[in-house]
A and B are shown apart, each in its own frame.
Chain A
Amino acid sequence: MRVVIVGAGAVGTHLAKMLAVENENVVLLDESEEKLAKMESSFDLQTIVGNPTKLSDLKSAGTGDADLFVAVTPDESRNINACILAHYLGARKTIARIDNYEYLIPKHKEFYASLGVDSMIYPEQLAAEEIATGMKYIWMRQMLEFGEGALVMIGVKIRENALIINIPLKDLAGDIPYHVVAIQRGDETIIPRGNDVVRPSDIVCFMTTKENIPYMRNICGKDRFSEVKSIIIMGGSRIAVRTTKLIPSDINVKIIEEDLNRCNKLLELVDDHVLVINGDARDPELLRSEGIDHTDAFIALGDNSETNILASLAAKREGVFRAVSEIENIDYISMAESMDIGSVINKKKLAASAIFQMMLNTDVLSVKCLTFIQAVVAEFPVKEGSLITKKPVKNLGLPDGANIGGLIRNSEGMHVTGNTVIQPGDHVVIFCREHVLRKLEKYFR
């Protein structure tokens, strides 16, 4: 598959790396030679210095033969323009990164498709969705739903008070309604076996069903956390605005924004139940006067990653249970994780994963990316006669780094053991490292 990526910014380079590792034919086009030199010297891809909206440059990047054309420069009009040109040159599918929610409305989408822009990615919207889902279950790091909720995968940070710590998983097994898919310990991701144990400060991925979520909360020792009643958002960015739209209106939301002009603008953008406050969210006085001690979640969405990290740290110290920080610098993510400041949102990573998903074989129902582990969870439908139905799971020889989380049979979630035989018509949910995903496809063909 030939993929032309225009714009070697954070989204473009992240996507290019993911694809190059998957052995796709990646061409990266950008105007900055420096950015490209770094990529070309360490990854197996072709780089071209050129203007994304110049036909001759697009041609020399081989846009005409491209199966996928991705425009992810910082400028949305340029992206749309590049996609139109790419479509004209013969690219089979085009994706543009945009900054405007209006374009995603179905009626307008159709118009853009007629111009040659097949899909559009709005990273701010993706980030807002991620945050809003996180607010539903405040004690989790992440929750992913499969088969309309028949199976859910949850990521939980385990503390000393959890009921399952230091017990080998094989002793837990038996009649338990969950399955431990992965354990993230520091920088290491463990695909657990029977003898592994969960330790405090691990992040554990469980696969379970929706009705068992209260039970999971109990065994993870998170009973004292109730539902979210009030949220403070720092920074009135576009993500903040999109987030307020997605959060139910019975939750009390405050946005703290430093710039008075932006505050006035925000009042026009957000709904009435959102309170806009002018001030610096790093100021403990201000936080206290705004009732930080009664706040359940603090979301730092400022322009500056460092400020967000510090503000989240301060909020945690004031007793907020849940903090979410937007961190734009991908290198900071693991560092932020070790500082114990709660979840991290990175809109570039989200965008890259969303694009990655679009270009996967259409057979995959969904691929969801985990924020705290370099891994994805994919839902595969099982076809008649595919390899995976031939043997019990333990004899399949699935690649390293992949773990079957569960399966959905007749819209009901089930757990998978070594002896389970997967049947046609099932949906299988698999947790795997990003680069293993391609290898899995053959089991479902």
Chain B
Amino acid sequence: MFHPKLIFRIVGLLLFVEAIFLLGSVAVALYYDEAILSSLVISIASMLGAGTLLAYICRGAERNISRKDGYIIVTMCWVVFSIFGSLPYIISGYIPDFTDAFFETVSGFTTTGASILNDIESLPNSLLFWRAMTHWIGGLGIVFFTVAIFPIFGMGDVNLFAAESIGPMRSKLHPRISVTARWILTIYVGLTIAAVVAFFFAGMGWFDSVCHSMSVVSTGGFSTKQASIAAFNSPLIEYVTILFMFLAGINLSLQYLFIFKGRAKQLFRDTEFRTYSSIVIIFSLFIAFGLFFTTEMDVETSFRTSLFQVISIQTTTGFATSNYVLWMPLLWLLLCALMFIGASSGSTSGAMKCVRISILFKVVINEFKRIVHPNAVIPVRMAGKVVPSPVQSAILAYTVIYILVLIVGLFVNMGFGLDFLDSFGLSVTSLGNVGPGFGDYGPMDSFATLPVGVKWFSMFQMLVGRLEFFAVLLLFTPVFWKKR
């Protein structure tokens, strides 16, 4: 059962929320006295206009959001938000092509951070701010933001949350979903403010600090500089970025419990947190050695570069201080593996997430044990708790879909004439919401030269990856639309 009126009404209301966020850019434009102001005002007016129209046509809708409504609303919100979010780029003329503007916005909201821009510095500050803002909204999730701030949905927002969730095992911090959302938002805002202060004291300007903070905390990857973090040429800023990328990759609920409830044990005993940190340590050490011996970097530089790149890729941020495409192939292949793995569930990062990877590994190991001890009851444990088998099979299904969509992407990209490495890199990076790919589309390259078809399919992959497949792909199954 789904209720079209209700769905469109909520989408309409959400457009108001987007208009409120865009007001931030207006403030920036006013402050810097930029000519783009009128385009921003037109964009806001069209959001408000469309929102009012939808809300008016669909007035008197039901209040109760069903499970199916939840999936449709979430997917539609992301698409509609991206369409309207691209208006500032198009109207101002800085990205006149709709495909490109839409690509930039989708890449922003899904916190991918891949850009089609060739000269980022030429954009006015208000547009750079809007780019960072799309990351910041998308990091937690559009619907999540709205539920935390505006209690507009009434009954059934449980179903919205289920549709926009991050990670396989959800646990609530508080019995009410809106309160849980507010607590997580507190942590998110807190992290952002801390990052702004840290960047500022590390030597960035205020504006760059704010934009980079929003980009880092949401593990997005948009920078205000064409050369990304490398443009600042400051080891201190790099270390600050490393720290906040790492923090953004930790489950926000665990951070909440750690900071406000003092439950340090719960964080450090968490299987996922341990997996995440071990992967970071092992990969960075290995790559640091590789860089030290194969390039001319000194000890500190190779360590810093390796740590930065590993965390940037694993948290799916996609910032760059070094063009890893030029490294020895084994080293960037390791980064490619990290693009699959991703950071923690319940964080703002994308890709598979450590919790799924560690459960997968345990399932595989158990299969071997079962051969040796056919009658043994072998559990899969996470943080001391047994993972029920429906969750296990959901994770296996997730993995299969992940790989399938990845391969389809490979076919599509190669069909449009890209070579294997480019196609593979694009597919992996779009699905994992990372940003940079491999080959000709590495961290220092623009995506502007991609064929239009590839751009559209990459956008689809970004969206599907951000919403963890099922919410979007479900809409393509006949079962979903059947009345009974």
Residues of chain A at the chain B interface (Cβ within 8 Å): 2, 21, 23-27, 33, 40-46, 62
Interface string of B143-169 (1 = CB under 8 A from A): 000000000000101110010000000
Given B67, B177, B388, which contacts A44 in the complex, CB threshold below 8 Å?
B177
| Residue from A24, A26, A44 with most neighbouring chain B CB atoms (10 Å) | A44
* Cβ A27 vs Cβ B388 within 8 A: no
Nearest CB of A to B391, in Å: 10
* Cβ B157 vs Cβ A44 within 8 A: yes
4 nearest A-B pairs in the assembled complex, by CB-CB distance:
A25-B175, A46-B175, A46-B172, A44-B158
* Cβ B176 vs Cβ A23 within 8 A: yes
Given A41, A46, A62, which contacts B162 in the complex, CB threshold below 8 Å?
A41
* Cβ B179 vs Cβ A25 within 8 A: yes
Given A23, A24, A27, A42, which contacts B158 in the complex, CB threshold below 8 Å?
A42
Q: Does B373 contact A (CB under 8 A)?
A: no
Q: Looking across the interface, which residue of chain A has its beta carbon closest to that of B170? A: A40
* Cβ B158 vs Cβ A46 within 8 A: no
Known A-B contacts A33-B388, A44-B157; A25 and B162 likewise in contact (beta carbons under 8 Å): no
Q: Does B484 contact A (CB under 8 A)?
A: no
Collect the chain B residues with CB atoms within 8 Å of residue A24's CB: 175
Collect the chain B residues with CB atoms within 8 Å of residue A25's CB: 174-176, 179
Interface size bracket, B side: 10 to 19
Given A21, A40, A43, A46, which contacts B174 in the complex, CB threshold below 8 Å?
A46
Collect the chain B residues with CB atoms within 8 Å of residue A46's CB: 172, 174-175
| Residue from B162, B176, B177 with most neighbouring chain A CB atoms (10 Å) | B176
Collect the chain A residues with CB atoms within 8 Å of residue B172's CB: 46
Collect the chain A residues with CB atoms within 8 Å of residue B179's CB: 25
Q: CA–CA, A227 to B172, complex, Å?
A: 56
Collect the chain B residues with CB atoms within 8 Å of residue A42's CB: 67, 158-159
Q: Looking across the interface, which residue of chain A has its beta carbon closest to that of B154? A: A23
Nearest CB of B to A318, in Å: 40
Known A-B contacts A21-B155, A33-B388; A44 and B176 likewise in contact (beta carbons under 8 Å): yes
Collect the chain B residues with CB atoms within 8 Å of residue A21's CB: 155
Q: CA–CA, A43 to B388, complex, Å?
A: 22
Q: CA–CA, A23 to B177, complex, Å?
A: 10
| New A-B contacts (18) at CB < 8 Å, excluding given A25-B179, A42-B67, A46-B174 | A2-B175, A21-B155, A23-B176, A25-B175, A27-B175, A40-B158, A41-B67, A41-B158, A41-B162, A42-B158, A43-B158, A44-B155, A44-B157, A44-B158, A44-B175, A45-B175, A46-B175, A62-B175
Collect the chain B residues with CB atoms within 8 Å of residue A33's CB: 388
Given B157, B158, B175, which contacts A26 in the complex, CB threshold below 8 Å?
B175
Residues of chain B at the chain A interface (Cβ within 8 Å): 67, 155, 157-159, 162, 172, 174-179, 388
Q: Looking across the interface, which residue of chain A has its beta carbon closest to that of B178? A: A44
Nearest CB of B to A241, in Å: 39
| Residue from B158, B174, B175, B178 with most neighbouring chain A CB atoms (10 Å) | B175
Q: CA–CA, A41 to B162, complex, Å?
A: 8
Q: Looking across the interface, which residue of chain A has its beta carbon closest to that of B385? A: A49
Nearest CB of B to A100, in Å: 31
Collect the chain A residues with CB atoms within 8 Å of residue B159's CB: 42
Collect the chain A residues with CB atoms within 8 Å of residue B155's CB: 21, 44
Q: CA–CA, A2 to B159, complex, Å?
A: 22
Nearest CB of A to B265, in Å: 13
Q: Looking across the interface, which residue of chain B has its beta carbon closest to that of A43? A: B158
Collect the chain A residues with CB atoms within 8 Å of residue B157's CB: 44
A-B contact pairs, 24 of them (CB 8 A): A2-B175, A23-B176, A24-B175, A25-B174, A25-B175, A25-B176, A25-B179, A26-B175, A40-B158, A41-B67, A41-B158, A42-B67, A42-B158, A42-B159, A44-B155, A44-B157, A44-B176, A44-B177, A44-B178, A45-B175, A45-B176, A46-B172, A46-B174, A46-B175
Q: CA–CA, A43 to B156, complex, Å?
A: 7
Q: CA–CA, A21 to B155, complex, Å?
A: 8
Nearest CB of B to A158, in Å: 31
Q: Looking across the interface, which residue of chain A has its beta carbon closest to that of B177? A: A44
Q: CA–CA, A45 to B174, complex, Å?
A: 8
Nearest CB of B to A90, in Å: 16
Q: CA–CA, A339 to B67, complex, Å?
A: 32
Q: CA–CA, A2 to B173, complex, Å?
A: 13
Q: CA–CA, A101 to B321, complex, Å?
A: 75
Q: CA–CA, A21 to B158, complex, Å?
A: 12
Q: Looking across the interface, which residue of chain B has its beta carbon closest to that of A3? A: B175
Nearest CB of B to A279, in Å: 45
Q: CA–CA, A26 to B67, complex, Å?
A: 21
Nearest CB of A to B174, in Å: 7
Nearest CB of B to A58, in Å: 15
Collect the chain A residues with CB atoms within 8 Å of residue B67's CB: 41-42
Q: Looking across the interface, which residue of chain A has its beta carbon closest to that of B161? A: A44
Q: CA–CA, A335 to B159, complex, Å?
A: 29
Q: Looking across the interface, which residue of chain A has its beta carbon closest to that of B176? A: A25
Collect the chain B residues with CB atoms within 8 Å of residue A43's CB: 158
Nearest CB of B to A45, in Å: 5
Q: CA–CA, A27 to B176, complex, Å?
A: 9
Q: CA–CA, A43 to B162, complex, Å?
A: 11
Q: CA–CA, A40 to B172, complex, Å?
A: 10
Q: CA–CA, A377 to B400, complex, Å?
A: 55
Nearest CB of B to A161, in Å: 40
Q: Looking across the interface, which residue of chain A has its beta carbon closest to that of B151? A: A23
Nearest CB of B to A69, in Å: 14
Collect the chain A residues with CB atoms within 8 Å of residue B174's CB: 25, 46
Nearest CB of B to A18, in Å: 13
Q: CA–CA, A62 to B180, complex, Å?
A: 14
Q: CA–CA, A335 to B337, complex, Å?
A: 58
Q: CA–CA, A25 to B175, complex, Å?
A: 5
Nearest CB of B to A15, in Å: 14
Q: CA–CA, A339 to B164, complex, Å?
A: 44
Q: CA–CA, A45 to B175, complex, Å?
A: 5
Nearest CB of B to A4, in Å: 9
Q: CA–CA, A33 to B172, complex, Å?
A: 15
Q: CA–CA, A21 to B157, complex, Å?
A: 12
Collect the chain A residues with CB atoms within 8 Å of residue B162's CB: 41
Collect the chain A residues with CB atoms within 8 Å of residue B176's CB: 23, 25, 44-45
Q: Looking across the interface, which residue of chain A has its beta carbon closest to that of B172? A: A46
| Residue from B158, B178, B179, B388 with most neighbouring chain A CB atoms (10 Å) | B158
Q: Looking across the interface, which residue of chain A has its beta carbon closest to that of B171? A: A46
Nearest CB of B to A210, in Å: 40
Collect the chain A residues with CB atoms within 8 Å of residue B388's CB: 33
Q: CA–CA, A25 to B172, complex, Å?
A: 12
Q: CA–CA, A33 to B157, complex, Å?
A: 22
Q: CA–CA, A2 to B174, complex, Å?
A: 10
Nearest CB of B to A178, in Å: 34
Q: Looking across the interface, which residue of chain B has its beta carbon closest to that of A62? A: B175
Q: Looking across the interface, which residue of chain A has its beta carbon closest to that of B158? A: A44
Nearest CB of A to B253, in Å: 12
Q: CA–CA, A23 to B158, complex, Å?
A: 13
